[in-house]
Protein backbone atom coordinates (compact mmCIF):
# COMPACT_ATOMS: atom_id res chain seq x y z
CA UNK A 1 0.00 0.00 0.00
CA UNK A 2 1.30 3.42 -0.97
CA UNK A 3 0.85 5.90 1.86
CA UNK A 4 -0.72 9.27 1.04
CA UNK A 5 1.49 11.07 3.51
CA UNK A 6 3.67 13.85 2.10
CA UNK A 7 7.26 14.41 3.15
CA UNK A 8 9.58 17.20 1.91
CA UNK A 9 11.22 16.39 -1.40
CA UNK A 10 14.97 15.99 -1.59
CA UNK A 11 15.08 18.81 -4.18
CA UNK A 12 13.54 21.01 -1.45
CA UNK A 13 16.06 19.93 1.17
CA UNK A 14 14.24 16.81 2.45
CA UNK A 15 15.78 13.39 3.04
CA UNK A 16 16.22 11.34 -0.13
CA UNK A 17 14.30 8.07 -0.23
CA UNK A 18 17.35 6.07 -1.23
CA UNK A 19 20.97 6.71 -0.35
CA UNK A 20 22.68 3.62 -1.73
CA UNK A 21 22.91 2.89 -5.45
CA UNK A 22 20.52 0.56 -7.23
CA UNK A 23 21.93 -2.45 -9.09
CA UNK A 24 22.91 -1.16 -12.52
CA UNK A 25 23.39 -2.71 -15.95
CA UNK A 26 26.62 -0.70 -16.19
CA UNK A 27 28.47 -3.06 -13.85
CA UNK A 28 28.31 -6.48 -12.22
CA UNK A 29 25.65 -5.36 -9.71
CA UNK A 30 22.90 -5.52 -12.33
CA UNK A 31 24.25 -8.31 -14.54
CA UNK A 32 24.37 -12.10 -14.30
CA UNK A 33 28.02 -12.55 -15.22
CA UNK A 34 29.77 -15.23 -13.19
CA UNK A 35 31.60 -18.52 -13.10
CA UNK A 36 29.87 -19.94 -16.21
CA UNK A 37 31.22 -17.11 -18.36
CA UNK A 38 34.66 -17.38 -16.72
CA UNK A 39 34.84 -21.14 -17.29
CA UNK A 40 34.02 -20.70 -20.96
CA UNK A 41 36.52 -17.88 -21.34
CA UNK A 42 39.23 -19.97 -19.76
CA UNK A 43 38.53 -22.77 -22.24
CA UNK A 44 38.90 -20.36 -25.13
CA UNK A 45 42.17 -18.98 -23.85
CA UNK A 46 43.52 -22.43 -23.03
CA UNK A 47 42.59 -23.68 -26.49
CA UNK A 48 44.10 -20.68 -28.24
CA UNK A 49 41.11 -20.75 -30.61
CA UNK A 50 39.77 -17.24 -30.63
CA UNK A 51 38.34 -17.34 -34.14
CA UNK A 52 34.76 -18.54 -34.47
CA UNK A 53 35.51 -21.05 -37.19
CA UNK A 54 38.24 -22.58 -35.01
CA UNK A 55 36.25 -22.85 -31.76
CA UNK A 56 32.77 -23.91 -30.69
CA UNK A 57 31.25 -21.23 -28.46
CA UNK A 58 29.83 -18.95 -31.16
CA UNK A 59 28.15 -21.97 -32.77
CA UNK A 60 26.86 -23.09 -29.37
CA UNK A 61 25.38 -19.64 -28.79
CA UNK A 62 23.73 -19.74 -32.23
CA UNK A 63 22.23 -23.17 -31.57
CA UNK A 64 20.95 -22.17 -28.14
CA UNK A 65 19.40 -18.91 -29.37
CA UNK A 66 17.68 -20.63 -32.29
CA UNK A 67 16.37 -23.39 -30.07
CA UNK A 68 15.20 -20.95 -27.36
CA UNK A 69 13.07 -19.25 -30.00
CA UNK A 70 12.19 -22.49 -31.78
CA UNK A 71 13.59 -21.09 -35.01
CA UNK A 72 15.70 -22.85 -37.63
CA UNK A 73 18.67 -20.47 -37.75
CA UNK A 74 20.58 -17.95 -35.68
CA UNK A 75 23.67 -16.23 -37.07
CA UNK A 76 25.90 -14.45 -34.56
CA UNK A 77 27.40 -11.07 -35.47
CA UNK A 78 29.47 -8.39 -33.79
CA UNK A 79 26.74 -5.95 -32.65
CA UNK A 80 23.04 -5.19 -32.77
CA UNK A 81 23.75 -2.63 -35.48
CA UNK A 82 25.56 -5.31 -37.47
CA UNK A 83 22.55 -7.57 -36.92
CA UNK A 84 20.15 -5.01 -38.39
CA UNK A 85 22.58 -4.43 -41.27
CA UNK A 86 22.86 -8.15 -41.89
CA UNK A 87 19.09 -8.72 -41.63
CA UNK A 88 18.35 -5.96 -44.12
CA UNK A 89 21.17 -7.06 -46.42
CA UNK A 90 19.66 -10.53 -46.72
CA UNK A 91 16.56 -8.98 -48.30
CA UNK A 92 18.53 -7.94 -51.40
CA UNK A 93 16.82 -4.57 -51.79
CA UNK A 94 17.65 -1.95 -54.40
CA UNK A 95 19.28 1.39 -53.61
CA UNK A 96 16.60 4.00 -53.01
CA UNK A 97 14.02 1.47 -51.79
CA UNK A 98 12.12 2.67 -48.76
CA UNK A 99 12.12 1.07 -45.34
CA UNK A 100 9.55 2.11 -42.74
CA UNK A 101 11.01 2.61 -39.28
CA UNK A 102 9.91 4.17 -35.97
CA UNK A 103 11.36 7.51 -34.77
CA UNK A 104 11.90 6.24 -31.20
CA UNK A 105 14.81 3.86 -31.43
CA UNK A 106 18.57 3.64 -31.26
CA UNK A 107 20.64 4.87 -34.23
CA UNK A 108 21.59 1.21 -34.65
CA UNK A 109 18.19 0.65 -36.27
CA UNK A 110 18.59 3.50 -38.75
CA UNK A 111 22.28 3.63 -39.73
CA UNK A 112 22.19 0.21 -41.46
CA UNK A 113 19.25 1.35 -43.61
CA UNK A 114 21.37 4.24 -44.87
CA UNK A 115 24.47 2.07 -45.15
CA UNK A 116 22.55 -0.06 -47.65
CA UNK A 117 21.52 3.07 -49.57
CA UNK A 118 17.93 2.53 -48.53
CA UNK A 119 15.70 5.42 -47.52
CA UNK A 120 14.33 5.40 -43.96
CA UNK A 121 10.70 6.54 -43.84
CA UNK A 122 9.42 7.34 -40.37
CA UNK A 123 5.94 6.28 -39.29
CA UNK A 124 4.47 7.60 -36.05
CA UNK A 125 4.15 5.50 -32.90
CA UNK A 126 1.28 4.48 -30.68
CA UNK A 127 1.67 6.96 -27.84
CA UNK A 128 0.83 4.36 -25.21
CA UNK A 129 3.33 1.68 -26.23
CA UNK A 130 5.98 3.78 -28.06
CA UNK A 131 5.95 1.20 -30.85
CA UNK A 132 4.98 1.60 -34.52
CA UNK A 133 1.37 2.54 -35.10
CA UNK A 134 0.20 0.22 -37.91
CA UNK A 135 -2.18 2.88 -39.25
CA UNK A 136 0.65 5.35 -39.64
CA UNK A 137 2.77 2.61 -41.25
CA UNK A 138 0.00 2.01 -43.80
CA UNK A 139 -0.16 5.73 -44.57
CA UNK A 140 3.59 5.82 -45.30
CA UNK A 141 3.58 2.96 -47.81
CA UNK A 142 4.51 3.99 -51.37
CA UNK A 143 5.37 2.00 -54.49
CA UNK A 144 9.02 2.07 -53.28
CA UNK A 145 8.37 0.56 -49.83
CA UNK A 146 10.08 -2.79 -49.43
CA UNK A 147 10.43 -3.40 -45.71
CA UNK A 148 9.25 -2.46 -42.24
CA UNK A 149 11.54 -2.60 -39.21
CA UNK A 150 9.37 -3.24 -36.15
CA UNK A 151 11.25 -2.16 -33.02
CA UNK A 152 9.92 -3.80 -29.86
CA UNK A 153 10.85 -0.81 -27.76
CA UNK A 154 11.90 -1.41 -24.15
CA UNK A 155 10.65 -4.97 -24.52
CA UNK A 156 7.03 -4.11 -25.38
CA UNK A 157 5.73 -5.80 -28.53
CA UNK A 158 4.69 -4.00 -31.70
CA UNK A 159 1.23 -4.98 -32.90
CA UNK A 160 2.67 -7.77 -35.01
CA UNK A 161 -0.62 -9.27 -36.20
CA UNK A 162 -1.58 -6.03 -37.88
CA UNK A 163 1.94 -5.21 -39.10
CA UNK A 164 2.26 -8.68 -40.55
CA UNK A 165 -0.99 -8.40 -42.44
CA UNK A 166 -0.06 -4.91 -43.70
CA UNK A 167 3.31 -6.26 -44.86
CA UNK A 168 1.67 -9.28 -46.47
CA UNK A 169 -0.94 -7.19 -48.28
CA UNK A 170 1.80 -5.03 -49.84
CA UNK A 171 4.42 -7.78 -50.35
CA UNK A 172 6.77 -5.99 -47.98
CA UNK A 173 9.32 -7.71 -45.78
CA UNK A 174 8.98 -7.50 -42.00
CA UNK A 175 12.14 -7.25 -39.89
CA UNK A 176 11.95 -7.37 -36.10
CA UNK A 177 14.41 -5.30 -34.08
CA UNK A 178 14.61 -7.28 -30.84
CA UNK A 179 17.67 -5.50 -29.43
CA UNK A 180 15.55 -4.53 -26.41
CA UNK A 181 13.18 -7.50 -26.47
CA UNK A 182 14.33 -10.99 -25.54
CA UNK A 183 11.45 -13.40 -24.90
CA UNK A 184 8.74 -10.78 -25.25
CA UNK A 185 5.62 -12.44 -26.57
CA UNK A 186 2.35 -11.64 -28.29
CA UNK A 187 -0.29 -14.30 -27.67
CA UNK A 188 2.42 -16.88 -27.16
CA UNK A 189 4.51 -15.96 -30.19
CA UNK A 190 7.96 -14.80 -29.18
CA UNK A 191 9.60 -11.60 -30.37
CA UNK A 192 11.91 -12.44 -33.25
CA UNK A 193 9.77 -15.31 -34.53
CA UNK A 194 6.99 -13.43 -36.31
CA UNK A 195 8.61 -11.41 -39.09
CA UNK A 196 10.85 -12.62 -41.93
CA UNK A 197 14.04 -12.08 -39.97
CA UNK A 198 14.99 -10.58 -36.59
CA UNK A 199 17.96 -8.80 -35.06
CA UNK A 200 19.22 -9.04 -31.46
CA UNK A 201 21.90 -7.10 -29.57
CA UNK A 202 24.29 -8.29 -26.86
CA UNK A 203 25.62 -4.88 -25.92
CA UNK A 204 26.45 -4.20 -22.26
CA UNK A 205 22.95 -3.08 -21.27
CA UNK A 206 20.95 -5.83 -22.96
CA UNK A 207 19.15 -8.83 -21.39
CA UNK A 208 21.93 -11.02 -22.80
CA UNK A 209 25.29 -9.29 -22.79
CA UNK A 210 28.78 -9.92 -24.05
CA UNK A 211 29.80 -6.24 -23.98
CA UNK A 212 29.00 -5.98 -27.66
CA UNK A 213 27.56 -8.57 -30.00
CA UNK A 214 24.47 -9.42 -31.98
CA UNK A 215 22.56 -12.10 -33.83
CA UNK A 216 20.02 -12.52 -36.58
CA UNK A 217 17.33 -15.15 -36.37
CA UNK A 218 15.15 -16.59 -39.11
CA UNK A 219 13.53 -19.83 -40.20
CA UNK A 220 14.04 -18.97 -43.87
CA UNK A 221 16.95 -21.08 -45.19
CA UNK A 222 17.82 -18.66 -47.96
CA UNK A 223 17.88 -15.59 -45.69
CA UNK A 224 19.98 -17.51 -43.15
CA UNK A 225 22.46 -18.52 -45.82
CA UNK A 226 22.74 -14.95 -47.02
CA UNK A 227 23.17 -13.72 -43.41
CA UNK A 228 25.97 -16.23 -42.79
CA UNK A 229 27.75 -14.98 -45.90
CA UNK A 230 27.10 -11.28 -45.34
CA UNK A 231 28.71 -11.33 -41.89
CA UNK A 232 31.69 -13.21 -43.35
CA UNK A 233 32.68 -10.91 -46.24
CA UNK A 234 30.32 -12.72 -48.60
CA UNK A 235 32.25 -15.97 -48.33
CA UNK A 236 30.29 -19.16 -48.99
CA UNK A 237 32.25 -21.47 -46.69
CA UNK A 238 29.71 -24.27 -47.20
CA UNK A 239 30.84 -24.55 -50.82
CA UNK A 240 34.51 -25.04 -49.96
CA UNK A 241 37.26 -22.97 -51.52
CA UNK A 242 37.28 -19.22 -51.37
CA UNK A 243 34.22 -17.97 -53.20
CA UNK A 244 32.73 -14.58 -52.38
CA UNK A 245 29.12 -14.85 -53.46
CA UNK A 246 27.77 -11.50 -52.32
CA UNK A 247 29.00 -8.15 -51.06
CA UNK A 248 29.53 -8.68 -47.35
CA UNK A 249 31.49 -7.29 -44.42
CA UNK A 250 33.35 -8.80 -41.53
CA UNK A 251 30.75 -8.83 -38.76
CA UNK A 252 31.91 -12.14 -37.27
CA UNK A 253 31.56 -12.73 -33.55
CA UNK A 254 34.80 -14.00 -32.01
CA UNK A 255 35.10 -16.87 -29.54
CA UNK A 256 35.80 -14.67 -26.52
CA UNK A 257 32.49 -12.94 -27.11
CA UNK A 258 30.89 -16.27 -27.98
CA UNK A 259 32.11 -17.78 -24.68
CA UNK A 260 30.26 -15.10 -22.74
CA UNK A 261 27.25 -15.15 -25.08
CA UNK A 262 26.90 -18.94 -24.79
CA UNK A 263 26.83 -18.71 -20.99
CA UNK A 264 24.51 -15.69 -20.99
CA UNK A 265 21.86 -17.08 -23.31
CA UNK A 266 21.31 -19.97 -20.89
CA UNK A 267 20.35 -17.43 -18.22
CA UNK A 268 17.96 -15.28 -20.21
CA UNK A 269 14.73 -16.93 -19.10
CA UNK A 270 15.58 -16.18 -15.46
CA UNK A 271 16.63 -12.65 -16.39
CA UNK A 272 13.32 -11.91 -18.08
CA UNK A 273 11.28 -13.60 -15.34
CA UNK A 274 12.95 -11.49 -12.68
CA UNK A 275 12.39 -8.28 -14.66
CA UNK A 276 8.72 -9.19 -15.12
CA UNK A 277 8.25 -9.68 -11.39
CA UNK A 278 9.89 -6.33 -10.59
CA UNK A 279 7.92 -4.45 -13.25
CA UNK A 280 4.61 -6.00 -12.17
CA UNK A 281 5.27 -5.07 -8.55
CA UNK A 282 6.32 -1.55 -9.53
CA UNK A 283 3.20 -0.99 -11.65
CA UNK A 284 0.97 -2.24 -8.84
CA UNK A 285 2.64 0.15 -6.41
CA UNK A 286 2.50 3.33 -8.49
CA UNK A 287 -0.45 2.96 -10.89
CA UNK A 288 -2.90 5.12 -8.92
CA UNK A 289 -0.56 8.02 -8.23
CA UNK A 290 -1.36 11.45 -9.69
CA UNK A 291 0.70 12.15 -12.79
CA UNK A 292 1.78 8.54 -13.22
CA UNK A 293 0.73 6.53 -16.27
CA UNK A 294 2.15 3.03 -15.96
CA UNK A 295 3.32 1.34 -19.18
CA UNK A 296 0.49 0.05 -21.34
CA UNK A 297 0.81 -3.59 -22.28
CA UNK A 298 -1.74 -4.87 -24.79
CA UNK A 299 -3.79 -7.87 -23.61
CA UNK A 300 -1.94 -11.04 -24.55
CA UNK A 301 1.47 -9.32 -24.64
CA UNK A 302 4.33 -10.31 -22.37
CA UNK A 303 6.77 -7.45 -21.92
CA UNK A 304 10.44 -8.16 -21.19
CA UNK A 305 11.21 -4.81 -19.54
CA UNK A 306 14.53 -3.65 -20.93
CA UNK A 307 13.53 -0.48 -19.13
CA UNK A 308 10.31 0.68 -17.46
CA UNK A 309 8.79 3.41 -19.65
CA UNK A 310 6.48 5.46 -17.48
CA UNK A 311 4.49 8.30 -19.03
CA UNK A 312 3.88 11.46 -17.05
CA UNK A 313 0.51 13.21 -17.05
CA UNK A 314 1.32 16.85 -16.53
CA UNK A 315 -2.35 17.76 -16.24
CA UNK A 316 -2.23 16.20 -12.78
CA UNK A 317 1.02 17.69 -11.54
CA UNK A 318 2.81 20.94 -11.01
CA UNK A 319 5.86 19.18 -12.44
CA UNK A 320 6.43 18.42 -16.08
CA UNK A 321 8.09 15.09 -16.91
CA UNK A 322 11.59 16.56 -16.95
CA UNK A 323 11.10 18.19 -13.56
CA UNK A 324 9.52 15.04 -12.15
CA UNK A 325 12.48 12.94 -13.35
CA UNK A 326 14.92 15.43 -11.79
CA UNK A 327 13.01 15.32 -8.51
CA UNK A 328 13.10 11.49 -8.58
CA UNK A 329 16.84 11.59 -9.20
CA UNK A 330 17.27 13.78 -6.14
CA UNK A 331 15.41 11.08 -4.20
CA UNK A 332 18.10 8.63 -5.28
CA UNK A 333 15.95 7.05 -8.00
CA UNK A 334 17.92 6.77 -11.29
CA UNK A 335 15.02 8.09 -13.39
CA UNK A 336 15.83 9.78 -16.67
CA UNK A 337 13.77 11.97 -18.92
CA UNK A 338 12.81 11.31 -22.53
CA UNK A 339 15.00 8.29 -23.48
CA UNK A 340 16.57 9.52 -26.77
CA UNK A 341 15.12 12.99 -26.15
CA UNK A 342 13.97 13.74 -29.69
CA UNK A 343 12.94 11.73 -32.76
CA UNK A 344 15.99 9.83 -34.00
CA UNK A 345 15.93 11.69 -37.33
CA UNK A 346 16.33 14.99 -35.51
CA UNK A 347 20.08 14.50 -35.35
CA UNK A 348 22.66 16.57 -37.20
CA UNK A 349 23.86 14.12 -39.84
CA UNK A 350 20.31 13.20 -40.81
CA UNK A 351 19.02 16.77 -40.93
CA UNK A 352 22.10 17.94 -42.85
CA UNK A 353 22.00 14.82 -45.06
CA UNK A 354 25.65 14.06 -44.54
CA UNK A 355 26.11 10.52 -45.72
CA UNK A 356 28.37 9.91 -48.70
CA UNK A 357 30.42 13.04 -49.46
CA UNK A 358 28.19 15.80 -50.72
CA UNK A 359 25.84 13.45 -52.52
CA UNK A 360 22.98 13.58 -49.95
CA UNK A 361 22.47 9.99 -51.08
CA UNK A 362 20.14 8.14 -50.64
CA UNK A 363 17.76 10.98 -49.88
CA UNK A 364 18.46 12.85 -53.07
CA UNK A 365 17.87 9.78 -55.23
CA UNK A 366 15.24 9.68 -57.98
CA UNK A 367 14.12 13.28 -57.48
CA UNK A 368 12.36 12.40 -54.24
CA UNK A 369 12.77 14.96 -51.53
CA UNK A 370 12.26 13.22 -48.23
CA UNK A 371 12.35 15.63 -45.32
CA UNK A 372 12.02 14.59 -41.72
CA UNK A 373 9.95 16.94 -39.57
CA UNK A 374 8.83 16.60 -35.98
CA UNK A 375 5.32 17.75 -36.91
CA UNK A 376 4.91 14.65 -39.08
CA UNK A 377 5.22 12.42 -36.01
CA UNK A 378 3.19 14.29 -33.37
CA UNK A 379 2.53 11.27 -31.16
CA UNK A 380 6.25 10.47 -31.06
CA UNK A 381 7.03 14.02 -29.94
CA UNK A 382 4.29 14.01 -27.30
CA UNK A 383 5.38 10.62 -25.98
CA UNK A 384 9.03 11.67 -25.72
CA UNK A 385 8.01 14.79 -23.80
CA UNK A 386 6.06 12.66 -21.34
CA UNK A 387 8.49 9.77 -21.03
CA UNK A 388 10.31 8.97 -17.81
CA UNK A 389 12.60 5.95 -17.99
CA UNK A 390 12.96 3.97 -14.80
CA UNK A 391 15.73 1.38 -14.97
CA UNK A 392 14.96 -2.23 -14.14
CA UNK A 393 17.30 -5.17 -14.17
CA UNK A 394 17.37 -8.81 -13.15
CA UNK A 395 19.09 -8.14 -9.85
CA UNK A 396 16.46 -5.80 -8.42
CA UNK A 397 15.23 -6.99 -5.03
CA UNK A 398 11.76 -6.40 -3.58
CA UNK A 399 13.38 -3.62 -1.51
CA UNK A 400 14.77 -1.97 -4.65
CA UNK A 401 11.30 -1.98 -6.20
CA UNK A 402 9.73 -0.66 -2.99
CA UNK A 403 12.28 2.18 -2.81
CA UNK A 404 11.73 3.06 -6.44
CA UNK A 405 7.97 3.13 -5.89
CA UNK A 406 8.44 5.28 -2.80
CA UNK A 407 10.57 7.79 -4.74
CA UNK A 408 7.93 8.03 -7.45
CA UNK A 409 5.21 8.33 -4.80
CA UNK A 410 6.92 11.21 -3.02
CA UNK A 411 7.33 13.19 -6.21
CA UNK A 412 3.84 12.39 -7.52
CA UNK A 413 2.05 13.32 -4.29
CA UNK A 414 4.07 16.44 -3.63
CA UNK A 415 3.51 17.58 -7.21
CA UNK A 416 -0.17 16.67 -7.18
CA UNK A 417 -2.50 19.52 -8.14
CA UNK A 418 -5.49 18.24 -6.21
CA UNK A 419 -4.13 18.94 -2.74
C1 LIG B 1 16.32 -0.88 -30.63
C2 LIG B 1 17.79 -1.01 -30.88
N3 LIG B 1 18.21 -1.35 -32.10
C4 LIG B 1 19.50 -1.49 -32.40
C5 LIG B 1 20.47 -1.27 -31.44
C6 LIG B 1 21.90 -1.40 -31.81
O7 LIG B 1 22.55 -2.34 -31.04
P8 LIG B 1 24.13 -2.26 -30.76
O9 LIG B 1 24.34 -1.14 -29.79
O10 LIG B 1 24.44 -3.60 -30.20
O11 LIG B 1 24.81 -2.01 -32.05
C12 LIG B 1 20.10 -0.92 -30.14
C13 LIG B 1 21.10 -0.67 -29.09
O14 LIG B 1 20.84 -0.05 -28.09
C15 LIG B 1 18.72 -0.78 -29.86
O16 LIG B 1 18.31 -0.43 -28.63
Overall number of domains in the chain? 1
* Residues with a CB atom less than 6 Å from ligand 1: 79-81, 84, 105-106, 108-109, 151, 177, 179-180, 201, 203, 212, 214
pLDDT, position 368 = 77
Angle between helices 57-68 and 255-265 (to 10 degrees): 30
| Domain membership flag for residue 148 | yes
| Domain membership flag for residue 119 | yes
Q: Answer whether 0.75 is exceeded by the pTM.
A: yes
Question: Do residues 343 and 151 lie in contact, with contact meaning Cβ atoms separated by under 8 Å?
Answer: no
pLDDT, position 1 = 46
Q: In what order do the strands lie in the sheet with 185-186?
A: 189-190, 185-186, 301-302
Q: Among 25, 26, 76, 80, name the best residue to mutate to test ligand 1's pocket (greatest count of ligand atoms within 8 A of Cβ).
A: 80
Q: How far apart are CA 127 and CA 124, in angstroms?
A: 9
Domain hosting 51: range is: 35-267
Q: What residues does 302 pair with on adjacent strands?
A: 185
Residue nearest to atom 10 of ligand 1 (CA): 80
Three-class SS state of 52: coil
Cα(336) to centroid(ligand 1), Å: 18
The CATH code of the domain that includes 86 is: 3.40.640.10
Q: Among 78, 113, 179, name the best residue to mutate to test ligand 1's pocket (greatest count of ligand atoms within 8 A of Cβ).
A: 179
pLDDT, position 5 = 61
How does DSSP assign 227-281, residue by residue? HHHHTBTTB-GGG-S--B-S---B-PPPHHHHHHHHHHHTTHHHHHHHHHHHHHH
Closest atom of ligand 1 relative to the 202 alpha carbon: 10
| Domain membership flag for residue 29 | no
| Domain membership flag for residue 173 | yes
First-to-last alpha carbon distance for the chain, in angstroms, is 20
Q: Among 83, 203, 214, 249, name the best residue to mutate to test ligand 1's pocket (greatest count of ligand atoms within 8 A of Cβ).
A: 203
* Predicted confidence (pLDDT) at residue 3 exceeds the cutoff of 60: no
Cα(81) to centroid(ligand 1), Å: 6
What is the per-residue pLDDT across 66-78, written as a single tens digit (0 to 9) for each? 999 999 999 999 9
| Domain membership flag for residue 170 | yes
Cα(243) to centroid(ligand 1), Å: 31
Question: Do residues 64 and 217 lie in contact, with contact meaning Cβ atoms separated by under 8 Å?
Answer: no
What is the per-residue pLDDT across 290-345, written as a single tens digit (0 to 9) for each? 999 999 999 999 999 999 999 999 999 999 999 999 999 999 999 999 999 999 99
Which residue, among 222, 198, 223, 201, has the nearest Cα to 212 in the 3D structure?
201
What distances in angstroms separate CA 80 from CA 12, 86, 201, one per listed residue?
42, 10, 4
What is the per-residue pLDDT across 48-68, written as a single tens digit (0 to 9) for each? 999 999 999 999 999 999 999
Residue nearest to atom 14 of ligand 1 (CA): 106
| Domain membership flag for residue 279 | no
What is the per-residue pLDDT across 152-205, written as a single tens digit (0 to 9) for each? 999 999 999 999 999 999 999 999 999 999 999 999 999 999 999 999 999 999
pLDDT, position 318 = 95
| Domain membership flag for residue 297 | no
| Cβ-based burial of 207 (10 A; exposed 0-12, middle 13-18, buried ≥19) | buried
Q: How far apart are CA 223 and CA 227, in angstroms?
A: 6
**Helix intervals (H) in 309-396:** 321-330, 348-351, 378-386
Q: Output the furthest CA–CA distance in the chain (Å, rounded).
A: 76
Question: Do residues 91 and 198 lie in contact, with contact meaning Cβ atoms separated by under 8 Å?
Answer: no
* Predicted confidence (pLDDT) at residue 147 exceeds the cutoff of 50: yes
What average pLDDT score do residues 75-95 get? 98
Cα(88) to centroid(ligand 1), Å: 15
Three-class SS state of 127: coil
* Predicted confidence (pLDDT) at residue 275 exceeds the cutoff of 50: yes
Which residue, among 394, 160, 408, has the nearest Cα to 269 in the 3D structure?
394
- Displacement of CA 234 from its chain's centroid (Å): 27
pLDDT, position 153 = 98
Question: Do residues 262 and 40 lie in contact, with contact meaning Cβ atoms separated by under 8 Å?
Answer: yes
Cα(137) to centroid(ligand 1), Å: 21
| Domain membership flag for residue 291 | no
Amino acid sequence: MISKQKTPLAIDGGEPVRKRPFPTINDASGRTLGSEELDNLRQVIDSGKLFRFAGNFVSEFERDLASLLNMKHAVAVSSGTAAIHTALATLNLNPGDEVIVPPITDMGTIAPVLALNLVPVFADVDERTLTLDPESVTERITERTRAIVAVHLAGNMCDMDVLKSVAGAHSIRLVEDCAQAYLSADNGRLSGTIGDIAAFSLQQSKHVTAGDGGAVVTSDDDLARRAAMFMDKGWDRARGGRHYILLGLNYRMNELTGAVAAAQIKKVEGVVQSRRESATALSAAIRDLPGVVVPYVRPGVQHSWWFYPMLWDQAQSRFNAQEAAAAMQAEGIPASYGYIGKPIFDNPFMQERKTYGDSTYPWGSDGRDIIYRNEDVPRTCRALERLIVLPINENFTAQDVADMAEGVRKVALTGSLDS
